[in-house]
Structure 1
Amino acid sequence: MSYVKPADLAVRMIEAGAQKSFMSTRDTLIRAFMGGATLALAAAFAITVTAQTGNALIGAMLFPVGFVLLYLMGFDLLTGVFTLVPLALLDKRRGVTVKSMFRNWGLVFLGNFLGAFLVAIMMAIYFTTGFATPPNEVGQALMEIGHGRTVGYAEYGAAGMLTLFVRAVLCNWMVSTGVVAALMSDSVPGKVIGMWMPIMLFFYMGFEHSIVNMFLFPAGLLLGGDFTVMDYLIWNEIPTVVGNLVGGLTFVGLTIYMTHRRTAPSRELLVTVPQRERVTTGA
């Protein structure tokens, strides 16, 4: 399997960020919509597996299939563009501006939300037979997730908000590692292996992913979860978006950029050559 060295990887990341910044509104929205919808379906699948088997590890091992598929098809997630687009700005790529960066982020956020929300509506219909029956076991699990990861944080006040933020930072540290890992190989098996491990880790650990949550919490509300829209926004989505930005950009984008693109000058190697011992003759 092909391997792209870190210095070349940094260039690929910058080029990918610039390309996303220049993308048309139509294409950005379509790709973000499908990215959000695909990841939401993967989340629904993983939660179904977990609820029916009682084994969260199996669900986490299978969840990355959605992430892998959406990136192989060229779709976008907010968590990915948080990491890549700023690098094109830092590298002073022509035409990439702060305005174009925020434009990209806003369009991807909107597209991701619309795609995830559509899947939330469809899954709510599926889990309740068109709202004619109470939610099935998977629907009940979604309701519990929605309550526990909003009101559950709120019960602890500032400590709960800090925990939410840290879990969001850790999440995009792993998710952006998966995004970048896909650029480290030119072969499909290499890309899949690179993406699978960090995505499985984030899902099993219960870290907070803003796009996955765009599905989980609206679905929980539609199913009758014991929390409100404001609970979802204040005690999950908004802090999660901020934490995802910090995690992906700080621990993945900037670290790779600084050490492999803007590499510091190497230290001089000081070699001390021992003096030859004086040879004396006579006494």
Structure 2
Amino acid sequence: MSTGALSPKKAAEKTLETGVHHLEEDLQLTFLKNVYGALLISAGGLLSLTLVTGTPGLSETNPGLPRILQGITFPVGLVLVYLVGAELYTGYPMWFVMTALERKGSPFQYLRSGIVSWLGNLVGSLIFAGLFTYLTEILSEDPFRSGTISMISEDIIESQWHIIFLRSILCGWLVTFSMMLGTQNQDGISKALALHWPFFISTAAKCPHTVEYMYLGSTAMFLGSPMSAGIFIWKCLIPITLGNTVGGGLFTGAYSWWVHLYCDDKKAAHRDGNGWGSVRLGDDD
């Protein structure tokens, strides 16, 4: 593996290339990689639930410490996803906003890839929640069971829809920002650290991640949470997916394209004497 780090412009170019690749990727491969990605992020979720819900008295005396524990442990799954080449839906808004601004692909390609990715993540999360969390009875006893149900009640059932949505925007931004940093760094240790810290902020601040809460929500329901399937869809899946899409697409995808690709190309064209108007926004080559 290479050492050193790419410049922000080079990282943006590689991210754009990744987006084009995902537009053209075989859908069976897209689905499988996203199922596997959800399994890995859910493994980080299981670690997080085990530590956080297993120390119920800690939140009463030191409410910030459980959040720190969750922030440290949950991103382990994201690091694993990135290092083995699996995928999560939350990266697609960043990739596809950049490719759309470059005028690559068709609307059908965007829809099919995004939907297949999301469904793959949902299937993987449900498999891990049912097969590796519920049937193994890892969290079936208190305080793990009651702590998990209490967590999802606080984060989803008792929260307002717009609060969940706004927090999800922040998560979408931070997670895709961590992915951009992971692309920028070339060696394994640097990648792992770069991926971990922005997601740490998001998780510790209780900003929900689409696949994270696919797993947490379904696990809580398996364990007996009063959250119905309708609430799971309306207050968990929909606002978090939309928020992550806006955050990743706008704050990372659009920003990186505008600053590191479009404006840099305009400056280069101006230096070459071609004028501002000669710079292309993208083509289908």
Q: CA deviation at 1:191?
A: 1.0
- In 1, distance between residues paired with 2:78 and 2:238? 22
Structure 1 gaps of 5+ residues are 154-159, 269-283
Q: CA deviation at 1:150?
A: 2.8
Q: What residue number does 1:104 align with?
A: 113
- In 2, distance between residues paired with 1:14 and 1:5? 14
Q: Which structure is higher in helix share?
A: 2
Q: What residue number does 1:166 align with?
A: 166
Q: What residue number does 2:87 align with?
A: 76
> Which of 142, 153, 157 is matched with 2:148 structurally?
142
Q: Which amino acid in structure 1 is aligned with residue 11 of structure 2?
A: L
Q: Which amino acid in structure 2 is aligned with residue 45 of structure 1?
A: L
Q: What residue number does 1:204 align with?
A: 204
Is 2:97 the partner of 1:86?
yes
> Which one is further off, 70-79 or 182-191?
182-191
Q: Please give the secondary structure, in 1, of the residue aligned with 2:158.
A: helix
CA deviation string 1:244-281 (max 9, x = no partner): 10001111110010011010756x9xxxxxxxxxxxxx
CA deviation string 1:71-127 (max 9, x = no partner): 11111101011211231222123xx21111111101100110010101110201223
Q: What residue number does 1:62 align with?
A: 73
- In 2, distance between residues paired with 1:197 and 1:234? 30
Q: Which amino acid in structure 1 is aligned with residue 40 of structure 2?
A: T
- In 2, distance between residues paired with 1:128 and 1:211? 20
Q: Which amino acid in structure 2 is aligned with residue 68 of structure 1?
A: V
> Which of 2, 5, 11 is matched with 2:4 structurally?
2
- In 1, distance between residues paired with 2:90 and 2:8? 21
- Aligned 8 A contact 2:89 2:114 in 1: yes
Q: Which amino acid in structure 2 is aligned with residue 124 of structure 1?
A: Y
Q: CA deviation at 1:70?
A: 0.8
Aligned pairs, number = 255
- In 1, distance between residues paired with 2:259 and 2:211? 29
Q: CA deviation at 1:128?
A: 6.6
Q: What residue number does 1:126 align with?
A: 136
- Aligned 8 A contact 2:217 2:236 in 1: no
CA deviation string 1:40-84 (max 9, x = no partner): 111111111112244421232122211101111111101011211
Larger radius of gyration: 1
Q: Which amino acid in structure 1 is aligned with residue 111 of structure 2?
A: F
Q: CA deviation at 1:21?
A: 1.2
Q: What residue number does 1:272 align with?
A: none
Q: Please give the secondary structure, in 2, of the residue aligned with 1:150.
A: helix
- Aligned 8 A contact 2:53 2:148 in 1: no
Structure 2 gaps of 5+ residues are 59-64, 271-285
* Identity rate, percent: 20
Q: Which amino acid in structure 2 is aligned with residue 49 of structure 1?
A: L
Task: Provide TM-score, normalisation by structure 1.
Answer: 0.85
- Aligned 8 A contact 1:178 1:198 in 2: yes
Q: Please give the secondary structure, in 1, of the residue aligned with 2:226.
A: coil
Q: Please give the secondary structure, in 2, of the residue aligned with 1:126.
A: coil
Q: Which amino acid in structure 1 is aligned with residue 150 of structure 2?
A: E
Q: What residue number does 2:273 align with?
A: none
User: Cα RMSD over matched residues?
Assistant: 1.7
> Which one is further off, 135-144 or 195-204?
135-144
- In 2, distance between residues paired with 1:210 and 1:217? 10
CA deviation string 1:182-214 (max 9, x = no partner): 110221122112111001111111111111111
- Aligned 8 A contact 1:87 1:254 in 2: yes
> Which of 146, 152, 158 is matched with 2:158 structurally?
152
Q: CA deviation at 1:145?
A: 2.1
